[in-house]
Amino acid sequence: MDTRRPGAEYIGRVTTTPVSAPLTSGTPLSLYVLGRESDPRSERGVECPGDLPPASDPSLVERARRAKAALGERLFVLGHHYQRDEVIQFADVTGDSFKLAREAAARPDAEFIVFCGVHFMAESADILTAPNQKVILPDLAAGCSMADMARLAQVEDAWDVLADAGVADVTVPVTYMNSSADIKAFCGEHGGVVCTSSNAKSVLDWAFARGEKVLFFPDQHLGRNTAVLQLGMSLDDCVLYDPHQVDGGLTADQLRAAKMILWKGHCSVHGRFSPEAVDDVRVRMPGVQVLVHPECQHEVVLKADLVGSTEYIIKAVEKAAPGSKWAIGTELNLVKRLAAAHPDQEIAFLEQHVCYCATMNRIDLPHLVWALENLAQGHVVNQITVDAKTEHFAKIALQRMLDLPGETAKD
Ligand code: SF4
């Protein structure tokens, strides 16, 4: 995706309710302190078992090296672009979530896939790897707040709302890669598909060839930006389904008139970049090119010069001429690494008030050392497994994406 243009709304909300609240329409999400409490339905708030080495231990790097060497070819470490430097130095390959899942699938001899990323990514890796391969997430509290914004019970409720409005039969569900395995399975079972930020346009073309409408989740911004900027829809073609309101806060007539039914979810990092930050950086850095991820608000994307996936952002900087000036709107760890790798360019972080992805940063060196040393000692810890039925249908949704022309060659 590499376009720029038109304007919409952004709404984010966090509410507090008891942990035991049922997950139905109209029920707000629970708020947990990371690393405390537990919620088996969520990617968040799960304690990491075992004794972690202290972060102050000066031998952590050496311990990680030793454990990795002891495991040898049995181990393959994946590092998402948004991970900390202290962790990414141990990655055998770096990439976005889908690239990493495919890299894991291409290493059938690796018994242990240690995924330095978040929970939904490890699930995808488990789905795409062989049954004998074990996928490990060093900290189980490394979830994704966006993935948590669309839960299976909520999506099933939404599908019932669409059926009551008489439009479920003509709607194709499309989920972003950043969703839990059971949501991908829902799409597989209901004629739908998975997309990434690189291929959202091709996937939506596929979906609209099969239905009149798309139910797109969990990220409203990727859905809106792709529909309006790449498929030429108007903002009026899009409606926002709020799982915390009765019937999504929409009338049956609104659902019947819409082409894109966007789920009210967003990324806690990319959703925070503001249009004002774009105006501000253009004043502070004359000649700057603003480069943002499509999970950013529509108004931000409209003001940017370039928009594209994480891999697109990396390639844009890599091929830029010395002296190029960039203000980049994506996760801070990646922007800092790009700046360090390209000292001949001027690379700034787009927004002063946006911080690291809190859940990605759960994976730190103590957790990595703890996981690697346990594996080296024969203890499999924090294994992520997807049950057979969920895997079956999630694979169908993933395969529909992989079968798109040219898809196998893409990042
Ligand atoms: S950056 Fe956003 S989408 Fe990615 S893991 Fe963090 S919250 Fe989820």
Q: Is 97 in the pocket of ligand 1 (CB under 6 A)?
A: no
pLDDT band of residue 51 (cuts 50, 70, 90) is: confident
Instruction: Give the residue, by CA position, lying nearest to ligand 1 atom 6.
Output: 357
pLDDT band of residue 202 (cuts 50, 70, 90) is: very high
Q: Which of 268, 296, 363 to mutate to test the pocket of ligand 1 (most atoms within 8 A of CB)?
A: 268
- The pLDDT, as a whole number, for residue 345 is 96
The answer to whether residue 58 scores a pLDDT higher than 80 is yes
Instruction: Give the residue, by CA position, lying nearest to ligand 1 atom 3.
Output: 267
Length of the chain: 411
Rounded percentage of the chain residues whose pLDDT exceeds 70: 86
How far is Cα 280 from Cα 348, in angstroms, rounded to an integer? 12
Q: State the DSSP string of 213-238.
A: EEEEES-HHHHHHIIIIIS---GGGE
- The pLDDT, as a whole number, for residue 406 is 63
Question: Which residues, in sequence order, are CB contacts of 134 under 8 Å at separation 6+?
Answer: 111, 112, 113, 380, 383
Ligand 1 atom showing the smallest separation from residue 145 Cα: 7
Predicted confidence (pLDDT) per residue in 368-396, tens digit: 999 999 999 999 999 999 999 999 999 99
pLDDT band of residue 190 (cuts 50, 70, 90) is: very high
How far is Cα 337 from Cα 372, in angstroms, rounded to an integer? 25
| Residue of 97, 364, 105, 114 lying closest to 219 (CA atoms) | 97
Predicted confidence (pLDDT) per residue in 7-27, tens digit: 322 222 222 233 333 333 444
pLDDT band of residue 405 (cuts 50, 70, 90) is: confident
The answer to whether residue 158 scores a pLDDT higher than 90 is yes
Q: Which of 44, 116, 118 to mutate to test the pocket of ligand 1 (most atoms within 8 A of CB)?
A: 118
Pair of tokens at residue 41: 């339905």
The answer to whether residue 5 scores a pLDDT higher than 70 is no
Q: Are the CB atoms for 111 and 76 separated by under 8 Å?
A: no
Predicted confidence (pLDDT) per residue in 302-360, tens digit: 999 999 999 999 999 999 999 999 999 999 999 999 999 999 999 999 988 777 898 99
8-state DSSP, 131:
T
Predicted confidence (pLDDT) per residue in 245-289, tens digit: 999 999 999 999 999 999 999 999 999 999 999 999 999 999 999
On average, the pLDDT of the chain sits at: 88
Measured in degrees and rounded to the nearest 5, phi and psi for residue 171 equal: -115, 135
Pair of tokens at residue 81: 């672009």
Pair of tokens at residue 189: 């079972």
Query: Helix, strand, or coil here: 246?
Result: helix
How far is Cα 196 from Cα 194, in angstroms, rounded to an integer? 7
- The pLDDT, as a whole number, for residue 407 is 58
- The pLDDT, as a whole number, for residue 49 is 59
Helix axes 181-189, 388-402, angle to 10 degrees: 70
Q: Is 359 in the pocket of ligand 1 (CB under 6 A)?
A: yes
Q: Kindly give the pairing relationship between strand 213-217 and strand 260-263.
A: parallel
Instruction: Give the residue, by CA position, lying nearest to ligand 1 atom 8.
Output: 144
State the Cα torsion 335-228-404-214 to the nearest 10°.
120
- The pLDDT, as a whole number, for residue 31 is 43
